[in-house]
Structures are given as C-alpha cells and as structure tokens.
Structure 1
C-alpha cells in the first residue's frame, strides 16, 4: 500500500514538472518528462510494484539473488583466468600441437622473386654516390614545416 502511494506521488510530481516545462515552451522535454512520470503509475497498475514489495521482504528471494551473484562471480572469474592464460584448454592444446596455427605457410606471403631466385642469391645493393640528393625533397618538406 505504501509503495503504491509513493509511486503515485512520484508520478504526480513528475507530471507537475512536465507542465512547468511545457509552460516554458520546451515541449519535447516536457513530453519526455511526462513519459518518465507515467512509468511508476503503470508499474503499480500492472502489479509489478506489489510483486517487488513481496520479493524485497522474502528471505528466499534474497537467497536466490545470492546464488545468482555467486554464479556470476564464478563465471566472471573463470573468464578472466581464461583470458590471462590465452584461451580454453582445447585451444591451448591445439596451439601447442600446431593445429591451431596459421593455415597458410609462413613464407606464402613473401613476394615472388622469379624463377630460382632466393633472397640470399640477390646481389647486395651498393650505396649510391648521390644518396644525399635522395633526401633533398624530404629535407625541404621538413624545413617548410619548421622541423
């Protein structure tokens, strides 16, 4: 009975604030405040407030909330440990045995060098004599920006 009275008073106060807001020509905000104000009355009319009042005073309900909290803590704790270790036990086992690795060979993404050519067989590039000229445009850009 008290919960229903409090909800009705909150709704009446909210509707009063909505009227004052509408008087100030802020109709969108007034409509939003009115919508929020009608929620407690709707909850009272559907019986949810009575059910919540009965649940709040029930020791069985509080024990159920405790069990749910313990389940959530167990779930969150195991997820945190799993993330720290790097996946589930099956994922770690597959990674150790080589099954969970990349499906493509590691050298598959290396560019093709032509027939019979290997990186070691290429001649080393000799430094060019005019290497200072290669960076002149970069130096000009840096000087332009004051760097």
Structure 2
C-alpha cells in the first residue's frame, strides 16, 4: 500500500485499475457526481471513460445518484464498510472529524478509492487525485498496477 501526491501528467499502464472513490450527501445527483469527476480528471488529462470502477462506503449502497452514475458509466460500484476504510487512514491526505462522526471513518472518497484499487490490482494503490470537494460530494482517484496473478 502506498500513496503519493497527484502527478501532473500520469501515465496509465494498460490493465491498471483507475478507481473513483466517492462520498456524497443524501440525494446527490448522478450529474453532480459526474461533473465533479470530469472536472477533476480534466486537470490531469484523463477522461471519465478511463475510470474502471467506483467505490464508496456501504452506508450509501442505496443512494440513487451513485447507482445511476455506475449504470451510466457501465462500471462496477463497490461498497466498503467503515472498518475496511479505517485500514487506509494512514494514507489519507485529509481526515474529517465530521465524517468520522457520521460514518465511523475519517475519509470516504480517498479511503474507498485506495481500498478498491488495491483489491483490483496487486494489493498496492496510489492516489492520482487527492480529495476534491463540491457542495454535495467528494471525489478521489486511485490507481493500482495490473494484477499479475
């Protein structure tokens, strides 16, 4: 498990997993989530089509905006419980006491992105985009090299 600062122009190797970790307020729309992702990816020269999966905390497993976005992008949406996300807390660039009070972990977007990228790849994950925030959502992007086994 590793993290690093967001590179200016990442090189994404074939087979690598690019995971969008998301946090959102209740009722956040798919359009709002998509706009945050697209705006953030644009800064590093990537498009939303490069995202291979979405991740979030299991408290949001019935959130219509998340479910709709996953369907629009035709990518898996994987949920993690707070205990699974706590395991990634040393790697977070931002820790929120308010998020902890609500969810039991200090960061949903970065933690879930790292957790799923590591699971999909070789067990390691790196943040390409640190936590980005809009009024109703947070987003982070993690990458893991292609799984060789």
Greater helix content = 1
User: Computing the radius of gyration over CA atoms, which structure comes out larger, 1 or 2?
Assistant: 1
Same fold (TM over 0.5): no
User: Under a length normalisation based on structure 2, what TM-score does the superposition of the two structures give?
Assistant: 0.16
Structure having greater relative contact order (Cα 8 Å, sep ≥ 6) = 2
Greater strand content = 2
